[in-house]
A and B are shown apart, each in its own frame.
Chain A
Amino acid sequence: MMSPHVILRVVSKVLIPLIIVYGFYVHFHGEYSPGGGFQAGVVLASAIILYALIFGLDEARKVFPPYWARVGMALGGFIYASVGFVSLMMGGKFLEYAVLHPDVSHGTGQHIGIIAVEIGVLTTVTCVMIAIFYAFAGRTPEISDEDW
């Protein structure tokens, strides 16, 4: 079936990869500049949401199944908390990033810790945003307009 919105489809096909790359840029630059997992997660989710707006909800569900969103939400929290447990097992206190790497003077452990934690945040925020969008978009009205 040919969609009438040719321009929208072409432009969004160009834009979606850019949005995703920009999302990862915001994520990995979060240590040095404004950004981080939370903002990057929203940007990544907006790529999927744009896809759903242009190509329809069913197509988007094929690209990113709702079950992934559910698992991803849990996985992100799990990653965050596991960083805490890993630092416990490496002999530090809960969430003590410094023990993650022996190079203390450059704070390498802190870098590793914060990036690992932010990956957890990114996963959860992306999946929560998509899940919220699916929940609203997939909602069937309880009373259809003809029943009034």
Chain B
Amino acid sequence: MTVGQFLPAALAAHAPVLLVAIPLILSAPAAALKSGRTAWGLAMAGSVAAFLFAIELFLATRGDAPGISYALGNWEPPVGIEFRVDGLNAALLLLLTASAVLALLFALPSVEDEIDKDKRSLFYSAFLVVFAGLAGVATTGDAFNLFVFLEISSIPTYALIAMGAGQDRRALTSSFNYLVMGTIGATFFVIGVGFLYMATGTLNMADLAARLSELHGNRVVEIGFAFILVGLGLKAALFPLHLWLPGAYAYAPSFVTTFLAATATKVAFYGIIRFSFDVFSVENGFVLNSFTYVITPLAIAGMIIASAQALFQSDVRRLLAYSSVAQVGYMMLGLGIGTQAGVAAGVLHLINHAMMKGALFMALGAFAISYGVRRIENFKGLGQALPVTSAAFTLGALSLIGVPFTVGFVSKFYLIQAALQKGWAFAVVAILISSVLAVFYCYRVLVNLWVAPRPDGASRSVQRVPYMILGPLLVLALMNLVFGVYAEPIVNMAETAAAAAFNAGVAP
């Protein structure tokens, strides 16, 4: 274990647990406070601390370094709960914490615009709990503990989405919808874990992996895998299980949408990778078959059908939400390919999608703050009024389409490469069809933004976008460009992650 590369060794030794515990403990004073700004300060402090720990963990697990294990309460795994960080979740933690920091910068003006004064401190407190829960899902090495953190992150998420009710009452039904489906997903997951426990008598992931390798063809284990896949698939918005997502993203407060779009489904997707390739392995015929004959068709159907649905949306946030479902399809296709290159492409798209959707939803938040617009026809002529925000939105949209020199192109390139290696020409065709559909739905927004003239009745006054929004928005938008040209660091990160997923089944 290499510690103390970036932070003092005393802190670095406890990095896995502090990453989760600091946001969690800060959520308590944030809830008791009355001032929204102080609560924001606490949220920011927690996220920055978590970001520093994530950098430390990322540096410590680079390359061939073995995973870092942390025994909570000094109860040795597999009996005690273990936090375990390797190349796969270190990349995810870096993405999660960086998104949280950038989204929080944007939160201060956005939340003051959208949330009632007396609810703001509770809002930030709930955010900190969501953040700690997601970080916990990404760090834990215990299957049941993963369920607990999944619930810790989900329950405040429902509250955060429902806080959009001040703007649009439909947030309440969307949140309830998500609550019901999310709970079903979590229940399925825990049923699956129960089956695995029944067959193996352990909950520790590394221990599970070792014992499951001797249980090929066991029907209980197979049923357990199916339950886990469906449960996490619901959380990750895998195509036919995505129905909660459009409403939740469309009516939640802008900040919540930005943060969730960049992180929540990604963390569930990480869970799928962790269980499918690390705890189980593709050498298990049942796992491979479910990926080839179930996940791949669903992924392709999602890519095409959700993109087509996005074409017909009039609310831009709903449009992007459907596009998110399609993008989850790309990531799932990477997993469906089932090779290390495929998983690397899936992880790469996961990271890149967080950048593009982060930029797009943040730009929408900026439009909503300055002009209060959400529907496509109201975006007419805003390109001249808010050139910088519009340019950032355009960059994100180009990246979503997959234009060369953006990150979207890089991940689609790797995905096509992985599909061709496997000899799946049909997957390439599906990616191309979905990309063409993406051109159309992005075109609908962009043409209104830049080409259509401002309608006569609309106010001519130019509204400024706060710098607190422009800053993180530009960072995210430029990241789409920078990592599109200079893709190596992100590609390396994804390949390390995939390698960790494939090798971690071997004793550490």
Chain A residues with CB under 8 Å of chain B are 70-71, 73-75, 77-78, 81-82, 84-85, 88, 92-98
Binary flags per residue of B1-38, CB closer than 8 Å to A gives 1, else 0? 00000000000001001100100110111111000000
Contacts of B72 in A (CB 8 A): 93-95
13 contacts between A and B (CB under 8 A): A75-B32, A77-B24, A77-B27, A77-B28, A78-B28, A78-B29, A84-B21, A85-B21, A94-B17, A94-B18, A95-B73, A96-B74, A97-B73
Dominant SS among interface residues on chain B: helix
Q: Once the chains are docked, how many angstroms separate the CA of A71 from the CA of B28?
A: 8
Pick the contact of A70 from B32, B71, B74 — CB < 8 Å? B32
CB distance from B265 to the nearest CB of A (A): 27
Pick the contact of B74 from A81, A85, A98 — CB < 8 Å? A98
Cβ A74 vs Cβ B28 within 8 A: yes
Contacts of A73 in B (CB 8 A): 31
- In the complex, whether B195 has a CB less than 8 A from a CB of chain A is no
- In the complex, whether B89 has a CB less than 8 A from a CB of chain A is no
Contacts of B74 in A (CB 8 A): 92-93, 96, 98
Q: Given A74-B125, A81-B21, is A94 in contact with B28 using a C-beta cutoff of 8 Å?
A: no
Within 8 A of A (CB), among B69-112: 70-74
Cβ B32 vs Cβ A71 within 8 A: yes
CB distance from B156 to the nearest CB of A (A): 12
Q: Which of B25, B28, B30, B71 has the most CB of A within 10 A?
A: B28
Chain B residues with CB under 8 Å of chain A are 14, 17-18, 21, 24-25, 27-32, 70-74, 125
CB distance from B75 to the nearest CB of A (A): 8
Contacts of B70 in A (CB 8 A): 93-94
Q: Given A84-B21, A94-B14, A94-B21, is A75 in contact with B73 using a C-beta cutoff of 8 Å?
A: no
Cβ A81 vs Cβ B25 within 8 A: yes
Contacts of B24 in A (CB 8 A): 77, 81
Q: Once the chains are docked, how many angstroms separate the CA of A92 from the CA of B18?
A: 13
Pick the contact of A75 from B14, B21, B28 — CB < 8 Å? B28
Q: Once the chains are docked, how many angstroms separate the CA of A85 from the CA of B17?
A: 10
Cβ A74 vs Cβ B31 within 8 A: yes
CB distance from B194 to the nearest CB of A (A): 22
Q: Once the chains are docked, how many angstroms separate the CA of A77 from the CA of B29?
A: 10
In the complex, residue of chain A having the shortest beta-carbon distance to the beta carbon of B83: A94
Cβ A85 vs Cβ B73 within 8 A: no
In the complex, residue of chain B having the shortest beta-carbon distance to the beta carbon of A94: B17
Contacts of A75 in B (CB 8 A): 28, 32
Q: Given A71-B32, A74-B32, A75-B32, is A93 in contact with B73 using a C-beta cutoff of 8 Å?
A: yes
Q: Once the chains are docked, how many angstroms separate the CA of A69 from the CA of B425?
A: 60
Contacts of A71 in B (CB 8 A): 32
| 10 closest A-B pairs by CB | A78-B28, A81-B25, A74-B31, A74-B28, A96-B74, A94-B17, A95-B73, A74-B32, A93-B74, A71-B32
Contacts of B25 in A (CB 8 A): 77-78, 81-82, 85
In the complex, residue of chain B having the shortest beta-carbon distance to the beta carbon of A87: B73
Cβ A93 vs Cβ B71 within 8 A: yes
Q: Once the chains are docked, how many angstroms separate the CA of A78 from the CA of B42?
A: 14
CB distance from B84 to the nearest CB of A (A): 14
Contacts of B14 in A (CB 8 A): 88, 93-94
Cβ B32 vs Cβ A94 within 8 A: no
CB distance from B85 to the nearest CB of A (A): 14
In the complex, residue of chain A having the shortest beta-carbon distance to the beta carbon of B122: A70
CB distance from A127 to the nearest CB of B (A): 11
Contacts of A82 in B (CB 8 A): 25
Q: Once the chains are docked, how many angstroms separate the CA of A103 from the CA of B149?
A: 33
CB distance from B481 to the nearest CB of A (A): 40
CB distance from B169 to the nearest CB of A (A): 12
Q: Once the chains are docked, how many angstroms separate the CA of A50 from the CA of B214?
A: 57
Q: Once the chains are docked, how many angstroms separate the CA of A94 from the CA of B21?
A: 9
Q: Once the chains are docked, how many angstroms separate the CA of A85 from the CA of B31?
A: 19
Given A73-B31, A74-B32, A97-B73, 5 new contacts (CB under 8 A): A77-B24, A78-B29, A81-B24, A82-B25, A96-B73
CB distance from A90 to the nearest CB of B (A): 12
Q: Once the chains are docked, how many angstroms separate the CA of A84 from the CA of B20?
A: 12
Q: Which of B14, B18, B30, B31 has the most CB of A within 10 A?
A: B31
